[in-house]
Amino acid sequence: MIEKLLNGLYAKNNKENPYTIKSHNLLALAEKCNLELTNEQVEKLQIITQFNISARYDDIKKVLIKNAQMIIHLNK
């Protein structure tokens, strides 16, 4: 969802060349949109990107689940 929003924002602001980079990296997309992000927002986009990319590929899903469980445990 965030990826689609960033792609849409980029297309809206770049009508002459509305095609974004071919990447699922949310931080790279946000930078392409010239968004000013806080350090917290950068960290969150990096984490979300890691989960999004990992969830797309079956062979990485087990590692994703393990990482998610570790993050949840650390945040308790």
Cα–Cα distance between 56 and 11 in angstroms, integer?
Answer: 24
List pLDDT tens digits, range 36-54.
999 999 999 998 988 776 5
pTM: 0.62
Domain housing 19 = 2-74
From the list 13, 48, 9, 59, the residue with the least C-alpha distance to 29 is: 9
Q: Which has more confidence, 40 or 58?
A: 40
Q: Which two tokens stand for residue 66?
A: 């393990």
Instruction: Name the percent of the chain lying above pLDDT 90.
Output: 26
Burial of 6 (0-12, 13-18, 19+ CB in 10 A): buried
Cα–Cα distance between 10 and 32 in angstroms, integer?
Answer: 7
The rounded mean pLDDT for the chain is: 83
Domain count, the chain: 1
